[in-house]
Structures are given as C-alpha cells and as structure tokens.
Amino acid sequence: MAKGEIPVTLNFMSILDYEILRQGLRAYAQEGTYKDLERKSGISSSNIGRIADSQVKRPSLETWSALHRAAPELIPPPPVKGRADLPPELAADPEISAWPDLHRVPVFNAGAGEPSGFSDGGYPVGEAEDFIYLPQEVRLGRNAFAIKVCGQSMEPEIMMGDIVVVDPDWRLENGQVCFATWSDDDFGQRLVKIYHEENGRIMLLSRNPLHGPVVLDPEKDRGVRIYKVVGHYKRL
C-alpha cells in the first residue's frame, strides 16, 4: 500500500441509493395517484410527493418499506439495511429479514478543512442526524464515525463533498490518512491530512501541492485528537 493511500474505498451509493425509490414513485404516479398510495401505505400524499421531487432527500427506511409493501410491483424494497435498527414489525417481514446486517455509521458535517471546532453535536455514541451503512466485512469499532469533507488540501484523492470514515480504534501509522482535530489560540481546527510523526514532532501533510504542511505546536495546540481514516466515499 502506497504512503497516504486510503485502505478502504467504499461506494455507499451502491448500498443505499434513494434515487431508485424516487423512480418507483414517479412510475406509480403514471398509473395512479399519491392519494391512492397514501391509503395503502399510511404515508401522507404530500410527503410522498416531496420524496418523489427530492425535497425529502433521505426518507426513513421505515417509510421506504411501507411504500414498497403498498406497491411492490413498482416500488422496490430498500437495497439493504441492518436488521438491528428495524422495529419488530418490520424485522418480522420475510423479505426484509433477508437483508444483510450492516454497520450503521453516524455522519457529522464537521467540515474537515475549514477552521472551527469539531463536535458530535451532543449525540450519544453511534447517533447523529445522518448515517451511512457499510457491510459487516468492513471491520469497524463501535466509535467509528464519518465526516463530510470541506476543503481542497487532499485533492485529487479526496475531493470537497466526499465522506471519509474515521475509526479511533484503528492504529494510525506514518503515511496514512487521518482526521485531526484540536484547538489553538485562534479557533478550532479539523483536518483530513496525511499523518507524519518524527522525534515527537507531528506534521500533517497535504496531497495538494498548493497546501503546505501543518506542524502541531504543543505549546498552543490543545486537545489534539488524531484518528485513522479507514474508508473513503467519493461523492457521485
């Protein structure tokens, strides 16, 4: 593995692509009405319309499952979902029970490139406003989380809008991609960089040659946390 190479590259869109739900709803609208679908599914017609028009970008898996059961010939089931997260009435469904178990990884809009403090928003471990779902064969600890990237210092490998998966339980070594967060005299920092430590001196290197290295200063940098990036989602 080359220095700085991300060890796992994952295409989350192939796992959970909401566009196939929208296509099914639009196909249903050609044969019936959303009012009809509301009576069958228990989902309001206005909410169905917002999902179809992408105003609701990430409807719950429970909503998707209800729409599928109401019109299985046109609306496909969610591609995959971890059974542990389903309520009992859905987990008992024979079709849904065949879905593979997945890691549910919380996503934080931490920026990773713009100066400000990083926070988990006060959510308990494993909880957030948004999630991605990864196969169980991807080895992750219970404290793993994902970060939406903002910034250009790691281009062309990691682009603005990409998502990186971070796992504090993995060992971080020189030359590997990391997520670093700390506070200095001016503001908080959170960066996705290449980790390099030598003689107790930590440097955070960029892939983009237009961005220089960041050298951590133990005199002013407080609360330094540096974790290994174990996965990378290139936004399509």
Q: Residues 177, 109, 212, CA angle at the centre, nearest 5°?
A: 40
- Select the more confidently predicted residue: 104 or 190: 190
Tell me: do 71 and 134 sit in the same domain.
no
Burial-class residue 11 by CB neighbours within 10 Å (0-12, 13-18, 19+). Answer: exposed
Asked, for residue 180, whether it belongs to a domain, the answer is: yes
Asked, for residue 84, whether it belongs to a domain, the answer is: no
Take residue 119 and report the two structure tokens written for it: 């926070």
Instruction: Say yes or no to pLDDT of 122 above 60.
Output: no
Distance, in Å, from the CA atom of 177 to the CA atom of 191, rounded to the nearest integer, reads 10
Cα-Cα end-to-end distance for the chain: 25
Sheet holding 222-233, edge to edge: 130-135, 102-111, 145-149, 163-167, 222-233, 177-183, 188-198, 201-205, 214-215
The predicted pLDDT at position 197 comes to 92
179: phi then psi, degrees, rounded to nearest 5:
-115, 120
Tell me: do 71 and 139 sit in the same domain.
no
Asked, for residue 27, whether it belongs to a domain, the answer is: yes
The predicted pLDDT at position 42 comes to 94
The predicted pLDDT at position 175 comes to 94
Tell me: do 109 and 209 sit in the same domain.
yes
Number of domains observed in the structure of the chain:
2
Tell me: do 27 and 72 sit in the same domain.
yes
Q: Tokens 């295409």 belong to which residue?
A: 11
Q: How many CB atoms lie within 10 A of CB 92?
A: 10
pLDDT tens, position by position, 2-42: 454 555 555 544 445 678 899 999 999 998 999 999 999 99
Asked, for residue 88, whether it belongs to a domain, the answer is: no
Asked, for residue 93, whether it belongs to a domain, the answer is: no
**Mean local confidence (pLDDT), 166-193:** 85
Tell me: do 170 and 225 sit in the same domain.
yes
Q: How many CB atoms lie within 10 A of CB 229?
A: 27
CATH of residue 43: 1.10.260
Question: Pairing relation of β-strands 214-215 and 201-205?
Answer: antiparallel
Asked, for residue 216, whether it belongs to a domain, the answer is: yes
Q: Residues 81, 84, 88, CA angle at the centre, nearest 5°?
A: 100
Asked, for residue 94, whether it belongs to a domain, the answer is: no
The stretches of 155-233 forming alpha helices (DSSP H) are none
Q: How far is CA 103 from CA 74, 81, 141, 148, in A?
A: 28, 9, 10, 18
Distance, in Å, from the CA atom of 76 to the CA atom of 64, rounded to the nearest integer, reads 9
Asked, for residue 2, whether it belongs to a domain, the answer is: no
Local structure of 115: helix, strand or coil = coil
- Give the length of the chain: 236
pLDDT tens, position by position, 209-229: 999 999 988 777 778 899 999
CATH of residue 217: 2.10.109.10
Tell me: do 225 and 128 sit in the same domain.
yes
Cα 54 to the center of its chain, rounded Å: 19
Tell me: do 117 and 55 sit in the same domain.
no
Cβ distance 48 to 22 under 8 Å? no
Tell me: do 35 and 126 sit in the same domain.
no
Tell me: do 123 and 65 sit in the same domain.
no
Tell me: do 106 and 57 sit in the same domain.
no
| DSSP 8-state secondary structure symbol assigned to residue 222 | E
Full domain range(s) for residue 154: 102-233
Tell me: do 38 and 130 sit in the same domain.
no
Tell me: do 72 and 124 sit in the same domain.
no
pLDDT tens, position by position, 49-101: 999 998 887 777 778 889 999 999 999 887 654 555 555 655 666 655 555 56
Report field, pTM of the whole predicted structure over 0.85: no
Q: Report the amino acid identity of residue 19.
A: E
Residues 236, 14, 54, 112, Cα dihedral to 10°: -50
The predicted pLDDT at position 36 comes to 95
